[in-house]
Structure 1
Amino acid sequence: MSTPATTALIIGIGVVILLSMSLRLVQQYQRGIVFRFGRVLDQARQPGLRVIIPIADRMVKVTMQTVVMPVPAQGAITRDNVTLTVDAVVYYRVVDPIRALVNVRDYPNAILQVAQTSLRSVIGRADLDVVLSDRERINAELKAVIDAPTEKPWGLLVERVEVKDVALPDSMKRSMSRQAEAERERRARVIAADGEFQASQRLADAARAMAATPGAYQLRLLQTVVDVAAEKNSTLVMPFPVELLRFFDKLTGTAAATAEPAPPVLHPDLERLAAH
C-alpha cells in the first residue's frame, strides 16, 4: 500500500511534468507559433513565459532578428559576354512568422536559392562596366528581384543586398590594365599639349608687349644675364645689341648724305692730254 507521502510525491512529480510540458519561454527576439492538433493558431505568442496545452499544442519559435546570409560565389556571364565570378551577402528578416513556417519549408535555404538565381540573372542583364562601376544599381536591382517573391508569400523582408567581390579572368585583367595605362598616357599627353599651348599664348603676349617697348628687350637681356651669372661654371657670351647697330647705321647714313662729293681722279695720260 502506498503511503500518503508517496502519493504526494507522485502528485508533485506529475505537476512538475505537467508544468514543464505547459510552459514555454519566448525570448525578446522570438515569436512563438502554436500548432494545436496540427492547425496553426492565428495569434503568435509574444516574448515572455507562455502556457500551452500539453499534448494538444506544439510551439515553434521563430527568430525575428536580421539574418546575414552569404551567397556563395556564382559564375555569371554579362551582357557583353564576359565571364565573371560574383559573390554577395543578403540581409533579411522575418516579418510574418506564420507565413514563414506554413507557406515555405526551410525558408533560409529557400531564400538562398532565390538569391543565387537572382544574382546570375541580374549580372546577365548588365554590362561589365556597370558591374564594376555602378555597384549601387546592381545592389538595388538584386534587392528588388529577391524581395518580390519572398515578402508577401513567405513573410520575409530583404533589407539589403550587397555584391561583395567580382572576380575577373586573368586575360580580362591584363586587357583592363593595358586599357587603363593607355588612358593615363592619353591624359598625360593632353595635359602636356594644353600646357604648351598656354605657354605659347603667354609668350606671344609677352612678345607683343616687348615689341611695343624696345627697351624691354634690353631689360630682359640683362635679367637673363643675371640669371646665367648665378651659375659659377657657366661661360657667358654677350650678344652685340641690335639697337647699337641701328644707331651706327643711322649715324653713317647721315654723314654720307651731308659730305661733299670728291673730284674725280684722272689717269696721268689723260691729264697730259687735257693740258695740251
Structure 2
Amino acid sequence: MGAVVALLVVAAVIGLIGLRSSVRVVKQYERGVVYRWGRVNPVPKEPGPRMVMPFVDRMTKVNMQVVTMPVPSQEGITRDNVSVRVDAVLYFRVVDPIRATVDVQNYQFAMLQVAQTSLRSIIGKSDLDDLLSGREMLHEGLELMLSTPATGWGVHIDRVEIKDVALPESMKRSMARQAEADRERRARIITADGELQASVKLSEAAKAMDANPAALQLRMLQTVVEVAAEKNSTLVLPFPVELLRFFDRAAQGSGASAPAAPQAGGKPAAGKDLAAGEEPAEVEQGKGGRGELPGTAGSPLQIPDPRSSEE
C-alpha cells in the first residue's frame, strides 16, 4: 500500500513538472517561434499562455518592438575631400519572426554591420554641405540602402537619422572665417544701399531748398535747436558755403575797382598810369646823362641813368 502511494506521488510530481514545462506565456510585444524535432512551426505563437509538448517542442520568443540602435561613429572622406566623423541612429522592428530567426543568425548584429557599411558609403558619395544642411536626402538614401537586406531578414526599417558630424578644427576655423566674411559682405552692401537711398533723398531735399532759399535758413536754425537741446557747453553753428562764396566775390570786385595809390610827390606812379591806359611820356636825355620830361623845365624830374656805373 505504501508503495502505491509513493508511485502516485512520483507520478503527480512528474505530471506537474511536465505541465510546467509545457506551458509558455507569450507577452503582448512578443511572438513565439516553435521548433518541433528541429523543424519550425510556420505559424508563430500569439500572445498569451501557450501549450507546447514537453521534451519535443522548443520555443523561441522574438521581440516585435521597435529597436533603437546607435550606429558607432564612422570616419570617412567626403566627395569634396574633407575628413569627417559621422554617427547615426537606426530604428527598426521585426515584422516576420520566422525569417528573423531562421534566415539570419543574429538579426540585430547583422543590422548593425549593414548600418555601419551603409553610413561609410553614404559619406563617400556626399559633399560636406549635404552632410551639414541636406540631411533629409541622406536619410532617405540610408533607409533605401538598409531596406534591401533587411527585407530578406524579416526586418522593417522605420527610420535612419544622422546624429552628428564631427569636423577637424582647421575646417571649423575656415568655415567660421567664411561665414564672417559673408556677413561682412552683406553688412557692407546694406550700408552702401542705405547711403544710396540717403543720397537720393538729400538730392531731392537740395532741389527743394534751391527753389526756396528760405528753407535752407530754416533748416540751419532747426539744426542749431537740435544741437542746443543736448545741453552742451559748445554750440556748433553751421555756416553756409554759399555765404563764403558771396564774400569771396565781393572781395574780388572791390579789389578790381580800387584807385591807384599816389606817390610821395602827389603824383601817380608811372606803372599805375600805364596800367590805367595812359600814353607814356617821352624822356629827353641831356649831355650830362640826365633826362627831363617835356613841359617840366621849371622843375625837372631827375631820374637816374641806368648806364652810369656810379649810380
- TM-score of the superposition, structure 2-length normalised? 0.74
Q: Map of 1:229-268 to 2, 5 A cutoff?
A: 229-230=228-229, 231-237=231-237, 239=239
What 5-or-longer segments of structure 1 have no aligned partner?
250-266, 268-276
SS of 2:183 mapped into structure 1: helix
Q: Map of 1:36-51 to 2, 5 A cutoff?
A: 36-51=36-51
Specify the code of the residue in structure 1 equivalent to 2:222: Q
Contact 1:31 1:44 in 2 (8 A): yes
Q: Which moved more, 1:222-231 or 1:194-203?
A: 222-231
Specify the code of the residue in structure 1 equivalent to 2:79: R
SS of 2:149 mapped into structure 1: coil
Percent sequence identity over matched residues? Answer: 53
What 5-or-longer segments of structure 2 have no aligned partner?
250-266, 268-311
| Residue aligning to 1:208 | 207
Q: Map of 1:1-276 to 2, 5 A cutoff?
A: 2-151=2-151, 153-230=152-229, 231-237=231-237, 239=239
More helix by share: 1
Specify the structure having the higher radius of gyration (Cα): 2
Contact 1:228 1:234 in 2 (8 A): no
Q: Answer 1 or 2: higher relative contact order, Cα 8 Å, separation at least 6.
A: 1
- Partners of 1:242 and 1:171 in 2: how far apart? 59
- Partners of 2:59 and 2:145 in 1: how far apart? 33
- Partners of 2:238 and 2:170 in 1: how far apart? 61
Contact 2:220 2:238 in 1 (8 A): no
- Partners of 1:177 and 1:232 in 2: how far apart? 44
- Partners of 1:191 and 1:59 in 2: how far apart? 73
- Measured after TM superposition, the shift of residue 168 of structure 1 is 0.7
Per-residue CA deviations over 1:203-262 (Å, capped at 9, x if unaligned) read 11211222232221121111112112223312344647969x98xx9xxxxxxxxxxxxx
- Partners of 1:169 and 1:238 in 2: how far apart? 58
**Distance of aligned partners of 1:187 and 1:61 in 2 relative to their CA distance in 1, 3 Å threshold:** same
- Partners of 1:238 and 1:155 in 2: how far apart? 87
- TM-score of the superposition, structure 1-length normalised? 0.83
- Partners of 1:187 and 1:43 in 2: how far apart? 67
- Measured after TM superposition, the shift of residue 161 of structure 1 is 0.8
Specify the code of the residue in structure 1 equivalent to 2:214: G
- Partners of 1:53 and 1:163 in 2: how far apart? 47
Cα RMSD (Å):
2.1
